[in-house]
Structure 1
Amino acid sequence: MVTSSGFTSAPVTRALLTLLVSSSIGASVLSIKHYLPLKPVPHLWPYLQLWRILTFQLAYTTSTEVLFSAALIYQLRVLERMWGSRKFASFVVASYGLCWWGYIPSGMTGIVVALVAVWRNEMPKLGGFKILLDDDPEKVRAGTARGIEFTDKWTAYLLTAQLALSQFPYGLLPASVGWVVGSAWAEELVPGGIVRWRVPAWTVGEDSRAKRSGQRQYEGLRRRLEEENQDGMREVTEGMARGAPGQNDTRSFVGGLGRYFTSS
């Protein structure tokens, strides 16, 4: 299977990961980590610090959470490649609003776990392994031995569990809210207007005119490839028609095929 490396075709994921790491480091360097957690009492009442609703998910207060969250965001970049940057960014923004009441501790736990829940539904299982609990050789050979099966997604689930338990028991609430939001989004159980909503195209670097120009460019490339294929097959046919019976037919056919596959 061919996969793209790094952040190829995933600019929103790169921006999200950069924001997470830089804001967490900045909060630590500036010694403002105590402003990050959100508690309804007394932050929202009686102090009315409503700005905390918008800022508490921007950074983590521990390096462990930063590491686990960053690893998960990088692994989940395949969602952006599959959905497109605009839909991916729209989901992140919607999750940011739907997970706000998952307070304490600060950080993107709700958003990251919501992405994991969607990724679980969208991405197929590609493989896995089984840890055998039965050492009977006959059962092992027959494939009936008892054991615990793991899919290729087990590393993401492990990181998600560690992220949710990093500040036990407080991290369980935002993780649970994120899982519910992501699962509801994947099953289209949230209001249809939220699922269909998209951020403006310019926020993810998309331009309608540039997109149409790119489509015309690819259309021209497709036509050139089709013409080259037709010319190559015509050479194969003509070579077979000109060749003499027997060995010359084979040579003409092979030569025509060689020109077909090596033509630029």
Structure 2
Amino acid sequence: MVTASGFTHTPATRAFLALVVSSSVIVSILSLKPYLPLKIAPHLWPYLQFWRIATCQLAYSSSTELLFSTAILYQMRVLERVWGTRKFASFALAGYGLCMIGIVSVAMVLKIVSVGWWGYIPSGPSALVIAIVAVWRREIPRLAGFKILLDDDEQRLRAGTARGLELSDKWTVYMLATQLALSQFPFGLLPAVVGWCVGNAWTEELVPGGLVRWRIPAWILGENARRKTGRGHYEGLRRRLQEEDHDGMREVTTAGVATMTRSQEGRRGVLGGVGRYFTSGS
């Protein structure tokens, strides 16, 4: 499925990965890690720090989670090539908002159910990364599979019925996603579960408001400028091809007329000779 190397034709994935890495590094350098995680109490109540709801998913406070997240995002560039930059960027932006609302809502419910024990949300866009993985699992087919044998019986091995664990070429991404979800166990499970639900709801078109069909404006991605540049770049080639087609048709028409003229002259010559033969005989 990967037809190009690196981040070729994937500007949205490249920008997303650069944003996550740069924001995490800046937060670490400026010692702002305590401002990243979100606690229902006391951050939302009684301190009313609602800005943490949007900023808790912007950067990681752990280098391990950052490593797993960047490795996953690098593999997700295939989804952008299949979908296109505009659709992928629209999904990332809408998924960010859905994950943010879902995480905070579920955390509030868990805090009430657990009698105040569960109210911590770790930092980082893990929910959005897992949502992209969920969509990638549905949209990108597997290319190969293999089997890890768990049985050493020679007869079963020869017959091909040995027990084993069947895996596909996607197992590395699933392993990284699982490790990302278990990085801050058990609190890291909440963003992972919410992101997985958001990704599957997106593929099944169960999200509200028709967000699946929503697209960000093209001018934000510079697609209008690229289209204009492309038209200007290929305008001369298109005009030259049209002129060549016109000249070719004219040459074909001229050759056809000349052929028809010669054939008519040939027919006239034959008929004239036959006429002169009978005339002279008379």
Structural mapping, 1:220-235, within 5 Å:
none
Identity, in percent, stands at 64
Structure 1 pair 2/123, CA: closer, same or farther in 2 (3 Å)?
closer
Quote the residue 2:20 is aligned against: 20
**1:81 and 2:81 correspond:** yes
> Which residue identity is paired with 2:230?
G
Quote the residue 2:227 is aligned against: 211
Equivalent residue pairs, number: 225
Structure 1 pair 218/112, CA: closer, same or farther in 2 (3 Å)?
farther
Quote the residue 1:259 is aligned against: none
Quote the residue 1:196 is aligned against: 213
User: After superposition, what is the alpha-carbon deviation per residue over 1:111-163, rounded to whole angstroms, capped at 9, x for unaligned?
Assistant: 00000000000001100210111112222222211110010000000000000
**1:113 and 2:130 correspond:** yes
1:199, distance to aligned residue in structure 2 (A)? 1.1
Structure 1 residue matching 2:166: 3-state secondary structure: strand
C-alpha distance in structure 1 between counterparts of 2:63 and 2:103, whole Å: 20
**1:131 and 2:185 correspond:** no
Quote the residue 1:165 is aligned against: 182
User: After superposition, what is the alpha-carbon deviation per residue over 1:14-36, rounded to whole angstroms, capped at 9, x for unaligned?
Assistant: 11111101111111110110000
C-alpha distance in structure 1 between counterparts of 2:52 and 2:44, whole Å: 8
Structure 1 pair 134/107, CA: closer, same or farther in 2 (3 Å)?
same
TM-score normalised to the size of structure 1? 0.79
User: After superposition, what is the alpha-carbon deviation per residue over 1:85-111, rounded to whole angstroms, capped at 9, x for unaligned?
Assistant: 111111111111111142610101000
For the 8 Å contact 2:20–2:59, the answer to whether it is kept is yes
Task: Return 5+ residue gaps in structure 1 as ranges.
Answer: 232-264
> Which residue identity is paired with 2:103?
G
1:215, distance to aligned residue in structure 2 (A)? 6.3
Match for residue 140 of structure 1 among 157, 160, 165:
157
Quote the residue 1:41 is aligned against: 41
C-alpha distance in structure 2 between counterparts of 1:62 and 1:53, whole Å: 19
C-alpha distance in structure 2 between counterparts of 1:42 and 1:193, whole Å: 35
User: After superposition, what is the alpha-carbon deviation per residue over 1:233-262, rounded to whole angstroms, capped at 9, x for unaligned?
Assistant: xxxxxxxxxxxxxxxxxxxxxxxxxxxxxx
Structure 1 pair 192/152, CA: closer, same or farther in 2 (3 Å)?
farther
1:59, distance to aligned residue in structure 2 (A)? 0.3
User: After superposition, what is the alpha-carbon deviation per residue over 1:162-206, rounded to whole angstroms, capped at 9, x for unaligned?
Assistant: 000011111000000000000110121212521111111122221
| RMSD across aligned positions (CA) | 2.3
Match for residue 181 of structure 1 among 186, 198, 216:
198
Quote the residue 2:103 is aligned against: 102
Structure 1 pair 150/52, CA: closer, same or farther in 2 (3 Å)?
same
Quote the residue 1:247 is aligned against: none
Structure 1 pair 176/136, CA: closer, same or farther in 2 (3 Å)?
same
1:214, distance to aligned residue in structure 2 (A)? 3.0
Task: Return 5+ residue gaps in structure 2 as ranges.
Answer: 105-120, 249-282
> Which residue identity is paired with 2:88?
F
Structure 1 pair 180/219, CA: closer, same or farther in 2 (3 Å)?
farther
Structure 1 residue matching 2:165: 3-state secondary structure: strand
Structure 1 residue matching 2:212: 3-state secondary structure: helix
Structure 1 pair 218/192, CA: closer, same or farther in 2 (3 Å)?
farther
User: After superposition, what is the alpha-carbon deviation per residue over 1:13-61, rounded to whole angstroms, capped at 9, x for unaligned?
Assistant: 1111111011111111101100001112111111111111111100001
C-alpha distance in structure 1 between counterparts of 2:30 and 2:74, whole Å: 26
C-alpha distance in structure 2 between counterparts of 1:66 and 1:110, whole Å: 13
